Structure 1
Amino acid sequence: MKYLLKYSAALLLLVLLVSGCREEPSYPKEPEITFDRVDQYTYTKNRITFDSLVLVVDFQDGDGNLGLRRTPTDSSDPDFQPPFDQSSPYFNNFFANLQIKRGNTYVPYPFPVESLNLNGRFPRLSLDDKDETLEGEIKYTLTNFSNDIFDPRDTVRFEVFIYDRALNKSNVVYSDDIVLFQGQ
């Protein structure tokens, strides 16, 4: 019994040391995304039916420089300076291009105003600027799809990609088909 206690403590220490030496995964510096799912929530208000959609993509990034602040911390905030200023194509870091199914093909949704889009910012995923591997999921919410704009049972999908703060573009992924106003 005396030897069992003596060696089991040493064995436990050895197991803890070996498990603490887990090697970090190695990912490329360009973000890599995969489509996970779309969560669809349908509701009615004042006889108008609405859909809220939550696009969920999984990501991996080798240097952890994903995300931009949504509001500036001060006038010199780097997340609002070029190339991330309001007039830049890199102001947003999450791009969700809406496509509508017509027959067997998808076409870009014809927004009534050309400058309208569904792009936006997702927040910084690391609090410091150290290089570190990151993986996880991004949930991006789109609200107010209504049946006064879309026909009930329209089928849509999203073309999605992201940028990191080094302006590396991820791969492009497509959501599954979404039949609008069927989430009840």
Structure 2
Amino acid sequence: MRYLLKYSAALLLCFVALSSCRKEPSYPDEPQIEFERVDVNYTTEFGITTANMTIVISYKDGNGDLGLNPLVSTPGGSSDPDSQAPFNPGSPYEKNFIAELFIKEPVFGSATDSAFVRYQLPVQGFDFSGRFRRLTNDERSEPLEGEIRYSLSSITNEFFKPGDIIKFQIFIYDRNTPIPNKSNIVETRPIKLTFKE
């Protein structure tokens, strides 16, 4: 019994020593993302059917500076750094989740070929991009990995028809200043819209 306790204590010490030596993952400071999935469900209200989409991407980031607080606009300016330059309204970095929409259309002059082209938005100034919230509550620099779920509900049967095939190109920005780092670009799977006629 004495020997069992002696060796158990030694094994426990070895386990603690090895676990304390475990290294944190090493990722670049520029975010790296991968497309995971897109979930779609349809709702109808007042004759308008909406394709509610949730785009899920996975991310890895070396220093964890991902996400922005919601914009705060006050007459004297906001003290929240996420509402100040370079993340202020009207800045190219105001939004940190950039989603560009493409739609499949017939190739001009061909009866059978089609290709994805950038969708021309019918409302000037509107886009599908937005902000995702901070992923941590502190400013510690540490590697992060996980998933971002980004929801949008702007695909309606007012502008699209059943059978349209769309996809999104996605990238994100981090909070690096003065110029945020841009991630790689990923594409969603093609999404066939199934509005009911």
Please give the TM-score of this superposition, normalised by the length of structure 2.
Answer: 0.86
Q: Which moved more, 1:122-131 or 1:163-172?
A: 122-131
Q: CA RMSD in A?
A: 1.7
8 Å CA contact 1:31, 1:170 repeated in 2: yes
Secondary structure in 1 aligned to 2:104? strand
Secondary structure in 2 aligned to 1:135? strand
Distance 2:46 2:83 in 1: 39
1:93 to 91, 96, 108: 96
Please give the TM-score of this superposition, normalised by the length of structure 1.
Answer: 0.92
Distance 2:72 2:15 in 1: 46
Tell me the matched-pair count. Answer: 182
Q: Which amino acid aligns with 2:64?
A: G
8 Å CA contact 1:50, 1:181 repeated in 2: no
Secondary structure in 2 aligned to 1:113? coil
Distance 2:67 2:50 in 1: 29
Q: CA deviation at 1:9?
A: 2.5
Q: Residue in 1 aligned with 2:129?
A: 119
Distance 2:120 2:182 in 1: 25
Q: Give the gaps of 5 or more residues in structure 2.
A: 107-113
Distance 1:118 1:30 in 2: 23
8 Å CA contact 1:101, 1:107 repeated in 2: yes
| Cα offsets for 1:49-95 (capped at 9, x unmatched) | 22100011111111111111014398221111111110111100110
Q: Give the gaps of 5 or more residues in structure 1.
A: none
| Cα offsets for 1:123-166 (capped at 9, x unmatched) | 11122222111111110001142222210121100000011111
Distance 2:60 2:26 in 1: 9
Q: Residue in 2 aligned with 1:33?
A: 33
